[in-house]
Copies of this chain bind each other. A is one copy, B any other.
Amino acid sequence: MTSAGTPAHGTRHGRTGRPRSAEADRAILDATRDALVELGWSKLTLGDVAARAGVAKTTLYRRWAGKNELVVDAVAALFDEHLELPDRGGLQADVEGVVRQFAALLERPETKTALMAVVAESTRDPALRERIRTAIVDRQKALVLLGRERAQARGELPVETDPAAAARTADLIFDVIAGAVVHRTLVSAEPVDGAWARSFAALLVGGLTAGA
């Protein structure tokens, strides 16, 4: 819904006039991902994207405010397609699964070069940060919340009664999981293999169940 074509604000079509080509949206986002793979974030230009998409540069500017917004949407589509949380039967296995899924996304050259770049930009652009949050971050966080519910249903995690405290804990877990995977992949530049995912999941689950 949110990620796919939908341009900047709320898609203020008046209901009259020539409608925007949905195929152009698709072509532009595809071209953006291709350009990210070939050129990387810094050398990607909107003129090049337009040419790849077979679309006039002006068309691109009518839908997206700039490079940042375009790339967020292009990358968010990948998160939509590849993030899910099948029940693997236990908390540690669920953590391992989500870690490997997220890592697989980050190993892609498109996301590798783009994700941290737009996050860096978002530190000076609240609107962009909000766009990243709704298009990418909230989807990831939903997996954390789902995983916790399951773990609580299994009796692996205690149920926190105070909703504020529960929210803080969920945020903490989210930052630890996502942060560790991002740091491992982009800063340490080491692959997230099975052994690492297992060690990390064991560490996290151990920490979560130690206090209880």
Decide if A123 touches B119 in the complex (CB within 8 Å). Answer: no
Total A residues in contact with B, Cβ cutoff 8 Å:
52
Question: Who on chain B is nearest to A111 by CB?
Answer: B123
Contact of A168 with B199 in the complex, beta carbons under 8 Å = yes
A186 touches B121 (CB 8 A): no
Q: Write the A172-212 contact mask toward B (1 if CB under 8 angstroms, else 0).
A: 10111011111110111110000110011011111111110
Select A180's contact among B42, B116, B179, beta carbons within 8 Å: B179
User: In the bound complex, do residue A180 and residue B171 qualify as a contact, i.e. CB atoms below 8 Å apart?
Assistant: no
* Contact between B203 and A137, CB atoms less than 8 A apart: no
Picked from B113, B184, B202, B209, the residue with its CB within 8 Å of the CB of A179 is: B184
A206→B211 contact, CB < 8 A: yes
In the bound complex, CA of A169 to CA of B113 (Å) = 27
A137 vs B165: C-alpha distance in the bound complex, in angstroms? 33
CA–CA, A112 and B122, complex, Å: 10
Q: By the criterion CB–CB under 8 Å, are A120 and B41 in contact?
A: yes
Confirm or deny: A40 has a beta carbon within 8 angstroms of a beta carbon on chain B: yes
Instruction: Please tell me if the beta carbons of B137 and A187 are within 8 angstroms of each other in the complex.
Output: yes
Q: Does any Cβ of B come within 8 Å of A129's Cβ?
A: yes
Closest to A200 in B: B172
**A113 near B119: Cβ-Cβ < 8 Å:** no
Distance in angstroms from A138 CB to nearest chain B CB is 11
- Listed from nearest, the 9 A-B pairs whose CB atoms lie closest are A179-B183, A207-B207, A206-B210, A179-B179, A116-B120, A117-B120, A203-B207, A206-B207, A179-B180
A residues at B contact (CB < 8 Å) = 40-42, 109, 112-117, 119-124, 129, 132, 137, 168-169, 171-172, 174-176, 178-184, 186-190, 195-196, 199-200, 202-211
A-B contact pairs, 30 of them (CB 8 A): A40-B121, A42-B121, A109-B123, A113-B120, A113-B123, A114-B120, A116-B117, A117-B120, A117-B121, A120-B186, A122-B186, A122-B189, A129-B189, A137-B188, A174-B183, A175-B180, A175-B188, A176-B176, A176-B179, A176-B200, A178-B179, A178-B183, A179-B179, A179-B181, A179-B182, A203-B208, A204-B207, A206-B206, A206-B208, A207-B210
